[in-house]
Protein backbone atom coordinates (compact mmCIF):
# COMPACT_ATOMS: atom_id res chain seq x y z
CA UNK A 1 0.00 0.00 0.00
CA UNK A 2 1.41 3.37 -0.98
CA UNK A 3 0.76 6.66 0.78
CA UNK A 4 0.57 8.28 -2.63
CA UNK A 5 -3.15 8.78 -3.22
CA UNK A 6 -2.87 8.17 -6.96
CA UNK A 7 -1.87 4.59 -6.20
CA UNK A 8 -4.32 3.97 -3.39
CA UNK A 9 -7.27 1.66 -4.16
CA UNK A 10 -10.80 2.99 -4.14
CA UNK A 11 -14.07 1.08 -3.84
CA UNK A 12 -17.24 2.23 -5.54
CA UNK A 13 -20.18 0.01 -4.60
CA UNK A 14 -18.83 -3.58 -4.81
CA UNK A 15 -16.06 -2.78 -7.26
CA UNK A 16 -12.50 -1.87 -6.23
CA UNK A 17 -10.10 -0.03 -8.49
CA UNK A 18 -6.46 -0.82 -7.69
CA UNK A 19 -5.55 2.85 -8.12
CA UNK A 20 -7.14 6.18 -9.12
CA UNK A 21 -5.94 6.13 -12.72
CA UNK A 22 -8.65 5.86 -15.36
CA UNK A 23 -8.35 5.51 -19.11
CA UNK A 24 -11.23 7.66 -20.37
CA UNK A 25 -13.33 6.54 -23.32
CA UNK A 26 -11.53 7.20 -26.60
CA UNK A 27 -13.12 6.34 -29.96
CA UNK A 28 -10.95 4.15 -32.12
CA UNK A 29 -13.10 4.53 -35.29
CA UNK A 30 -12.12 0.95 -36.04
CA UNK A 31 -15.25 -1.16 -35.59
CA UNK A 32 -16.76 -3.07 -38.49
CA UNK A 33 -20.55 -2.69 -38.64
CA UNK A 34 -20.44 -1.95 -34.92
CA UNK A 35 -18.36 -5.02 -34.00
CA UNK A 36 -15.04 -4.73 -32.19
CA UNK A 37 -11.90 -5.87 -33.98
CA UNK A 38 -8.48 -7.06 -32.83
CA UNK A 39 -7.54 -3.40 -32.73
CA UNK A 40 -9.91 -2.83 -29.82
CA UNK A 41 -8.48 -5.79 -27.92
CA UNK A 42 -4.94 -4.56 -28.43
CA UNK A 43 -5.89 -1.00 -27.53
CA UNK A 44 -7.82 -1.71 -24.32
CA UNK A 45 -5.44 -4.53 -23.45
CA UNK A 46 -2.30 -2.44 -23.47
CA UNK A 47 -3.83 0.13 -21.11
CA UNK A 48 -5.03 -2.58 -18.71
CA UNK A 49 -1.60 -4.23 -18.79
CA UNK A 50 0.03 -0.84 -18.25
CA UNK A 51 -1.46 -0.68 -14.76
CA UNK A 52 -4.53 1.60 -14.96
CA UNK A 53 -7.23 1.03 -12.34
CA UNK A 54 -10.14 1.37 -14.75
CA UNK A 55 -10.21 1.18 -18.54
CA UNK A 56 -13.36 2.61 -20.11
CA UNK A 57 -14.02 1.37 -23.63
CA UNK A 58 -15.02 4.12 -26.09
CA UNK A 59 -18.54 5.48 -26.62
CA UNK A 60 -20.49 2.42 -27.77
CA UNK A 61 -23.74 3.24 -29.46
CA UNK A 62 -27.13 2.27 -28.06
CA UNK A 63 -28.76 2.41 -31.49
CA UNK A 64 -27.63 2.28 -35.09
CA UNK A 65 -28.77 5.85 -35.80
CA UNK A 66 -26.52 7.03 -33.01
CA UNK A 67 -23.26 5.98 -34.67
CA UNK A 68 -20.95 8.94 -35.15
CA UNK A 69 -18.80 7.37 -37.86
CA UNK A 70 -18.62 4.17 -39.91
CA UNK A 71 -16.18 2.85 -37.29
CA UNK A 72 -18.25 3.26 -34.11
CA UNK A 73 -18.76 0.35 -31.72
CA UNK A 74 -22.35 -0.86 -31.26
CA UNK A 75 -24.35 -2.41 -28.45
CA UNK A 76 -27.87 -2.10 -29.88
CA UNK A 77 -28.40 -5.84 -30.25
CA UNK A 78 -27.62 -8.97 -28.23
CA UNK A 79 -25.29 -10.11 -31.02
CA UNK A 80 -22.73 -7.60 -29.70
CA UNK A 81 -22.50 -9.24 -26.27
CA UNK A 82 -20.06 -12.04 -27.12
CA UNK A 83 -17.58 -9.94 -29.15
CA UNK A 84 -17.55 -7.28 -26.41
CA UNK A 85 -17.02 -9.95 -23.76
CA UNK A 86 -13.59 -10.61 -25.25
CA UNK A 87 -12.53 -7.04 -24.40
CA UNK A 88 -14.02 -7.08 -20.89
CA UNK A 89 -12.44 -10.46 -20.09
CA UNK A 90 -8.99 -9.41 -21.21
CA UNK A 91 -9.11 -6.14 -19.24
CA UNK A 92 -10.20 -8.04 -16.12
CA UNK A 93 -7.45 -10.62 -16.60
CA UNK A 94 -4.96 -7.76 -16.21
CA UNK A 95 -6.60 -6.85 -12.86
CA UNK A 96 -8.03 -3.61 -14.18
CA UNK A 97 -11.72 -2.85 -13.91
CA UNK A 98 -13.45 -3.13 -17.29
CA UNK A 99 -15.68 -0.18 -18.08
CA UNK A 100 -17.63 0.86 -21.14
CA UNK A 101 -19.25 4.14 -22.17
CA UNK A 102 -22.72 4.09 -23.71
CA UNK A 103 -23.41 6.83 -26.22
CA UNK A 104 -25.56 8.24 -28.99
CA UNK A 105 -24.25 10.88 -31.36
CA UNK A 106 -27.62 12.59 -31.98
CA UNK A 107 -27.33 15.37 -34.56
CA UNK A 108 -23.57 14.78 -34.85
CA UNK A 109 -24.14 11.24 -36.21
CA UNK A 110 -23.00 10.14 -39.69
CA UNK A 111 -19.75 12.10 -39.61
CA UNK A 112 -16.25 11.68 -41.01
CA UNK A 113 -13.49 10.17 -38.98
CA UNK A 114 -11.50 13.13 -37.56
CA UNK A 115 -8.46 12.48 -39.73
CA UNK A 116 -10.63 12.22 -42.86
CA UNK A 117 -11.89 15.79 -42.46
CA UNK A 118 -14.15 17.40 -39.96
CA UNK A 119 -17.93 17.46 -40.37
CA UNK A 120 -20.71 15.35 -41.88
CA UNK A 121 -20.09 12.37 -44.12
CA UNK A 122 -20.97 12.72 -47.82
CA UNK A 123 -23.49 10.20 -49.21
CA UNK A 124 -21.71 7.10 -50.43
CA UNK A 125 -22.96 3.83 -51.89
CA UNK A 126 -20.51 1.93 -49.69
CA UNK A 127 -22.89 2.44 -46.76
CA UNK A 128 -25.78 0.07 -47.39
CA UNK A 129 -28.15 1.56 -44.79
CA UNK A 130 -27.53 5.24 -45.49
CA UNK A 131 -31.18 6.27 -45.22
CA UNK A 132 -31.75 4.34 -41.98
CA UNK A 133 -28.75 6.16 -40.54
CA UNK A 134 -30.55 9.50 -40.37
CA UNK A 135 -29.32 11.77 -37.59
CA UNK A 136 -32.01 12.41 -34.96
CA UNK A 137 -32.07 14.99 -32.17
CA UNK A 138 -34.45 16.71 -29.74
CA UNK A 139 -35.17 19.41 -32.35
CA UNK A 140 -34.51 19.83 -36.07
CA UNK A 141 -31.65 22.25 -35.44
CA UNK A 142 -28.30 21.68 -37.16
CA UNK A 143 -25.11 21.60 -35.11
CA UNK A 144 -23.73 24.44 -37.27
CA UNK A 145 -24.12 25.66 -40.83
CA UNK A 146 -21.71 22.91 -41.94
CA UNK A 147 -24.10 20.20 -40.73
CA UNK A 148 -27.50 19.04 -42.07
CA UNK A 149 -30.54 19.54 -39.83
CA UNK A 150 -31.42 16.33 -37.95
CA UNK A 151 -34.94 14.94 -37.73
CA UNK A 152 -36.69 15.84 -34.46
CA UNK A 153 -37.61 12.78 -32.39
CA UNK A 154 -41.30 12.06 -31.74
CA UNK A 155 -42.21 11.85 -28.04
CA UNK A 156 -42.72 8.08 -28.29
CA UNK A 157 -39.30 7.73 -29.95
CA UNK A 158 -37.72 9.53 -26.98
CA UNK A 159 -39.36 7.02 -24.64
CA UNK A 160 -38.15 4.15 -26.85
CA UNK A 161 -34.65 5.57 -26.71
CA UNK A 162 -34.72 5.65 -22.90
CA UNK A 163 -35.40 1.91 -23.01
CA UNK A 164 -32.65 1.43 -25.63
CA UNK A 165 -30.13 2.80 -23.09
CA UNK A 166 -31.52 0.41 -20.47
CA UNK A 167 -31.15 -2.55 -22.81
CA UNK A 168 -27.63 -1.48 -23.70
CA UNK A 169 -26.77 -1.48 -19.98
CA UNK A 170 -28.13 -5.01 -19.68
CA UNK A 171 -25.88 -6.10 -22.55
CA UNK A 172 -22.84 -4.35 -21.05
CA UNK A 173 -23.42 -6.30 -17.84
CA UNK A 174 -23.89 -9.55 -19.74
CA UNK A 175 -20.63 -8.91 -21.60
CA UNK A 176 -18.79 -8.74 -18.26
CA UNK A 177 -18.18 -5.03 -17.81
CA UNK A 178 -18.06 -3.87 -14.18
CA UNK A 179 -18.32 -0.09 -14.65
CA UNK A 180 -20.60 1.86 -16.94
CA UNK A 181 -20.46 5.45 -18.11
CA UNK A 182 -23.29 7.33 -19.81
CA UNK A 183 -22.08 9.86 -22.36
CA UNK A 184 -23.93 13.05 -21.53
CA UNK A 185 -21.30 15.46 -22.87
CA UNK A 186 -19.65 16.91 -25.99
CA UNK A 187 -22.78 17.97 -27.87
CA UNK A 188 -24.11 14.47 -28.46
CA UNK A 189 -27.71 13.35 -27.95
CA UNK A 190 -27.98 13.59 -24.15
CA UNK A 191 -26.25 16.96 -24.10
CA UNK A 192 -28.56 18.10 -26.94
CA UNK A 193 -31.52 17.47 -24.64
CA UNK A 194 -29.89 19.46 -21.82
CA UNK A 195 -29.06 22.53 -23.90
CA UNK A 196 -31.71 25.08 -24.80
CA UNK A 197 -29.62 25.84 -27.87
CA UNK A 198 -30.41 22.41 -29.35
CA UNK A 199 -33.61 21.54 -27.49
CA UNK A 200 -36.67 23.60 -28.37
CA UNK A 201 -39.22 20.88 -27.79
CA UNK A 202 -42.66 21.71 -26.51
CA UNK A 203 -43.39 18.32 -24.87
CA UNK A 204 -42.25 17.22 -21.40
CA UNK A 205 -38.64 16.78 -22.66
CA UNK A 206 -38.14 20.45 -23.58
CA UNK A 207 -38.68 23.97 -22.33
CA UNK A 208 -37.87 24.33 -18.63
CA UNK A 209 -34.55 23.22 -17.19
CA UNK A 210 -36.31 20.39 -15.36
CA UNK A 211 -37.86 19.21 -18.63
CA UNK A 212 -34.53 19.34 -20.46
CA UNK A 213 -32.94 17.23 -17.71
CA UNK A 214 -35.74 14.67 -17.93
CA UNK A 215 -34.24 12.55 -20.71
CA UNK A 216 -30.94 11.95 -18.91
CA UNK A 217 -32.66 11.31 -15.59
CA UNK A 218 -34.98 8.75 -17.21
CA UNK A 219 -32.00 7.18 -18.99
CA UNK A 220 -30.16 6.86 -15.65
CA UNK A 221 -33.26 5.27 -14.09
CA UNK A 222 -33.68 2.82 -16.97
CA UNK A 223 -29.99 1.94 -16.87
CA UNK A 224 -30.08 1.35 -13.12
CA UNK A 225 -32.97 -1.09 -13.60
CA UNK A 226 -30.78 -3.23 -15.85
CA UNK A 227 -27.35 -2.55 -14.33
CA UNK A 228 -26.55 -4.49 -11.13
CA UNK A 229 -26.79 -2.56 -7.86
CA UNK A 230 -23.22 -3.58 -6.96
CA UNK A 231 -21.67 -2.04 -10.08
CA UNK A 232 -20.72 1.65 -10.37
CA UNK A 233 -22.40 4.06 -12.75
CA UNK A 234 -20.64 7.14 -14.12
CA UNK A 235 -22.10 10.03 -16.14
CA UNK A 236 -19.91 12.26 -18.28
CA UNK A 237 -21.18 15.83 -18.48
CA UNK A 238 -20.02 18.92 -20.28
CA UNK A 239 -20.11 20.78 -16.99
CA UNK A 240 -19.72 24.02 -18.95
CA UNK A 241 -20.70 24.30 -22.61
CA UNK A 242 -20.35 27.94 -23.59
CA UNK A 243 -23.99 28.02 -24.70
CA UNK A 244 -25.98 28.63 -21.54
CA UNK A 245 -25.18 25.51 -19.56
CA UNK A 246 -22.72 25.83 -16.70
CA UNK A 247 -21.41 24.42 -13.41
CA UNK A 248 -24.50 25.46 -11.41
CA UNK A 249 -26.87 23.49 -13.64
CA UNK A 250 -24.43 20.58 -13.74
CA UNK A 251 -24.18 20.42 -9.96
CA UNK A 252 -27.97 20.55 -9.66
CA UNK A 253 -28.28 17.74 -12.21
CA UNK A 254 -25.50 15.73 -10.55
CA UNK A 255 -27.31 15.88 -7.20
CA UNK A 256 -30.48 14.53 -8.85
CA UNK A 257 -28.53 11.82 -10.69
CA UNK A 258 -27.00 10.75 -7.39
CA UNK A 259 -30.49 9.98 -6.08
CA UNK A 260 -31.02 7.81 -9.18
CA UNK A 261 -27.97 5.66 -8.48
CA UNK A 262 -25.20 7.56 -10.29
CA UNK A 263 -21.89 7.35 -8.42
CA UNK A 264 -19.38 9.47 -10.31
CA UNK A 265 -19.58 12.54 -12.54
CA UNK A 266 -16.86 12.60 -15.18
CA UNK A 267 -16.33 16.32 -15.68
CA UNK A 268 -15.64 17.44 -19.22
CA UNK A 269 -16.76 20.49 -21.21
CA UNK A 270 -17.86 21.86 -24.57
CA UNK A 271 -19.11 20.34 -27.79
CA UNK A 272 -22.60 21.78 -28.19
CA UNK A 273 -21.25 24.48 -30.50
CA UNK A 274 -18.16 24.45 -32.67
CA UNK A 275 -16.60 26.72 -30.05
CA UNK A 276 -15.53 24.85 -26.92
CA UNK A 277 -15.51 26.87 -23.68
CA UNK A 278 -11.77 26.46 -23.45
CA UNK A 279 -11.31 28.35 -26.72
CA UNK A 280 -10.68 32.00 -26.12
CA UNK A 281 -9.23 31.10 -22.74
CA UNK A 282 -5.74 29.89 -22.17
CA UNK A 283 -5.65 26.11 -22.61
CA UNK A 284 -3.47 24.84 -19.86
CA UNK A 285 -2.80 21.82 -17.67
CA UNK A 286 -5.83 20.93 -15.51
CA UNK A 287 -8.17 23.15 -17.58
CA UNK A 288 -11.25 21.14 -16.54
CA UNK A 289 -10.20 20.38 -12.96
CA UNK A 290 -12.12 23.38 -11.51
CA UNK A 291 -15.29 21.85 -13.00
CA UNK A 292 -14.69 18.54 -11.19
CA UNK A 293 -13.95 20.46 -8.02
CA UNK A 294 -17.14 22.53 -8.31
CA UNK A 295 -19.42 19.54 -8.91
CA UNK A 296 -17.75 17.54 -6.14
CA UNK A 297 -18.28 20.30 -3.59
CA UNK A 298 -21.77 21.39 -4.64
CA UNK A 299 -23.37 18.02 -5.39
CA UNK A 300 -21.52 15.96 -2.81
CA UNK A 301 -20.70 13.29 -5.38
CA UNK A 302 -17.47 11.64 -6.51
CA UNK A 303 -15.92 13.26 -9.55
CA UNK A 304 -13.38 12.35 -12.17
CA UNK A 305 -11.06 15.04 -13.52
CA UNK A 306 -9.94 14.91 -17.14
CA UNK A 307 -8.12 17.13 -19.61
CA UNK A 308 -4.40 17.76 -20.01
CA UNK A 309 -3.44 15.83 -16.92
CA UNK A 310 -0.08 14.58 -18.03
CA UNK A 311 2.26 14.09 -15.08
CA UNK A 312 1.95 11.83 -12.05
CA UNK A 313 2.70 14.55 -9.52
CA UNK A 314 0.18 16.79 -11.28
CA UNK A 315 -2.48 14.09 -10.85
CA UNK A 316 -1.48 13.56 -7.23
CA UNK A 317 -1.89 17.24 -6.42
CA UNK A 318 -5.48 17.23 -7.75
CA UNK A 319 -6.29 14.32 -5.43
CA UNK A 320 -4.46 15.84 -2.46
CA UNK A 321 -6.35 19.12 -3.01
CA UNK A 322 -9.62 17.20 -2.85
CA UNK A 323 -10.65 18.46 -6.29
CA UNK A 324 -11.52 15.02 -7.67
CA UNK A 325 -11.60 11.34 -6.68
CA UNK A 326 -10.36 9.84 -9.92
CA UNK A 327 -7.95 11.00 -12.58
CA UNK A 328 -8.47 10.28 -16.27
CA UNK A 329 -5.42 10.35 -18.50
CA UNK A 330 -6.42 10.38 -22.17
CA UNK A 331 -4.00 11.46 -24.88
CA UNK A 332 -0.97 11.02 -22.64
CA UNK A 333 -1.77 7.35 -22.17
CA UNK A 334 -1.93 7.04 -25.96
CA UNK A 335 1.63 8.31 -25.88
CA UNK A 336 2.64 5.99 -23.04
CA UNK A 337 0.30 3.03 -22.34
CA UNK A 338 2.52 2.19 -19.37
CA UNK A 339 1.83 5.61 -17.85
CA UNK A 340 0.71 4.21 -14.46
CA UNK A 341 3.91 2.21 -14.07
CA UNK A 342 6.01 5.07 -15.36
CA UNK A 343 4.35 7.54 -12.96
CA UNK A 344 4.86 5.11 -10.05
CA UNK A 345 8.57 4.92 -10.83
CA UNK A 346 8.99 8.65 -11.24
CA UNK A 347 7.11 9.33 -8.00
CA UNK A 348 9.02 6.73 -6.01
CA UNK A 349 5.90 4.72 -5.18
CA UNK A 350 6.23 1.41 -3.33
CA UNK A 351 6.22 -1.58 -5.66
CA UNK A 352 6.14 0.33 -8.94
CA UNK A 353 5.77 -2.93 -10.90
CA UNK A 354 3.07 -4.51 -8.76
CA UNK A 355 0.23 -3.37 -11.04
CA UNK A 356 1.71 -4.75 -14.24
CA UNK A 357 1.76 -8.36 -15.42
CA UNK A 358 4.77 -10.53 -14.53
CA UNK A 359 5.51 -11.03 -18.22
CA UNK A 360 7.29 -7.71 -18.01
CA UNK A 361 6.86 -6.60 -14.38
CA UNK A 362 9.04 -9.44 -13.10
CA UNK A 363 11.94 -8.56 -15.38
CA UNK A 364 11.75 -4.85 -14.72
CA UNK A 365 11.60 -5.51 -10.98
CA UNK A 366 14.67 -7.78 -11.18
CA UNK A 367 16.58 -5.18 -13.13
CA UNK A 368 15.57 -2.53 -10.62
CA UNK A 369 16.74 -4.62 -7.65
CA UNK A 370 20.12 -5.18 -9.25
CA UNK A 371 20.71 -1.46 -9.13
CA UNK A 372 19.86 -0.62 -12.70
CA UNK A 373 17.30 1.86 -11.53
CA UNK A 374 14.73 3.07 -13.96
CA UNK A 375 14.46 6.36 -12.08
CA UNK A 376 16.03 9.03 -14.25
CA UNK A 377 18.38 10.18 -11.49
CA UNK A 378 19.99 6.74 -11.07
CA UNK A 379 21.08 5.94 -14.60
CA UNK A 380 24.60 7.27 -14.14
CA UNK A 381 25.06 5.07 -11.05
CA UNK A 382 23.62 2.11 -12.98
CA UNK A 383 26.18 2.60 -15.71
CA UNK A 384 28.99 2.42 -13.16
CA UNK A 385 27.58 -0.76 -11.61
CA UNK A 386 27.46 -2.38 -15.04
CA UNK A 387 31.10 -1.61 -15.64
CA UNK A 388 32.16 -2.87 -12.18
CA UNK A 389 30.46 -6.25 -12.34
CA UNK A 390 32.00 -6.98 -15.69
CA UNK A 391 30.80 -8.25 -18.97
CA UNK A 392 29.40 -11.64 -18.00
CA UNK A 393 27.42 -10.36 -15.04
CA UNK A 394 25.99 -7.55 -17.14
CA UNK A 395 24.88 -10.01 -19.82
CA UNK A 396 22.90 -11.98 -17.21
CA UNK A 397 20.95 -8.89 -16.36
CA UNK A 398 19.95 -8.15 -19.94
Ligand X SMILES: Cc1cc2nc3c(=O)[nH]c(=O)nc-3n(C[C@H](O)[C@H](O)[C@H](O)COP(=O)(O)O)c2cc1C
- Binding residues for ligand X, rule: CB under 6 A, are 24-27, 58-59, 101, 183, 185-186, 236, 268, 306-309, 329-332
48-62 exposure pattern, b = at least 16 Cβ within 10 A, e = fewer: bbbbbbbbbbbbbbb
Q: How far is the CB of 153 from ligand X (least distance, A)?
A: 22
Cβ-in-10-Å burial (0-12, 13-18, 19+) of 384 comes to exposed
Q: Which is nearer to ligand X, 212 or 236 (CB)?
A: 236
Q: Which is nearer to ligand X, 34 or 382 (CB)?
A: 34
Q: Secondary structure of the chain in the HEC alphabet?
A: CCCCHHHCCEEECCEEECCCEEECCCCCCCCECCECCHHHHHHHHHHHHCCCCEEEEEEEECCHHHCCCCCCEECCCHHHHHHHHHHHHHHHHCCCEEEEEEECCHHHCCECCHHHCCCECCCCCCCCCCCCCCCEECCCCCCCCCCCCCEECCHHHHHHHHHHHHHHHHHHHHCCCCEEEEEECCCCHHHHHHCCCCCCCCCCCCCCHHHHHHHHHHHHHHHHHHCCCCCCEEEEEEEECCCCCCHHHHHHHHHHHHHCCCCEEEEEECCCCCCCCCCCCCCCCCCCHHHHHHHHHHHCCEEEECCCCCCHHHHHHHHHCCCCCEEECCHHHHHCCCHHHHHHHHCCCCCCCCCCCHHHHHHHHHHHHCCCCCCHHHHHHHHHHHHHHHHHHHHHHC
Q: How far is the CB of 308 from ligand X (least distance, A)?
A: 4
Q: Which is nearer to ligand X, 331 or 362 (CB)?
A: 331
Q: Which is nearer to ligand X, 338 or 372 (CB)?
A: 338
CA atoms 40, 261, 168, 85: torsion sign: positive
Q: How far is the CB of 169 from ligand X (least distance, A)?
A: 17
Given 188, 205, 287, 294, the catalytic residue: 188
Q: Which is nearer to ligand X, 191 or 226 (CB)?
A: 191
Residue nearest to ligand X (CB): 330
Q: Which is nearer to ligand X, 21 or 152 (CB)?
A: 21
Q: How far is the CB of 115 from ligand X (least distance, A)?
A: 10
Q: Does the annotation count 188 as an active-site position? A: yes
Q: How far is the CB of 134 from ligand X (least distance, A)?
A: 22
Q: How far is the CB of 50 from ligand X (least distance, A)?
A: 15
Q: Which is nearer to ligand X, 130 or 285 (CB)?
A: 285
Q: How far is the CB of 68 from ligand X (least distance, A)?
A: 8
Which residues are annotated as catalytic?
188
Amino acid sequence: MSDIQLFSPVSIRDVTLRNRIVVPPMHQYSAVKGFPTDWHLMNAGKFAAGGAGLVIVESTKVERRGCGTVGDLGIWDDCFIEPLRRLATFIRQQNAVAGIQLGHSGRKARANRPWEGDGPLQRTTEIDDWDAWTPVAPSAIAHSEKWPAPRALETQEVKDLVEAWGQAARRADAAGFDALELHGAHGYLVHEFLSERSNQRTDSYGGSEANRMRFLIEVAEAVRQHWPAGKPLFVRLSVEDNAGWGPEQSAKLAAILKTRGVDVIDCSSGGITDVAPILGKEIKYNYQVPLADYVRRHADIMTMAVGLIIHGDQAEQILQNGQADLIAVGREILNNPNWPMDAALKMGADGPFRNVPPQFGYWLGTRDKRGFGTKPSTWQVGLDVGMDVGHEETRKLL
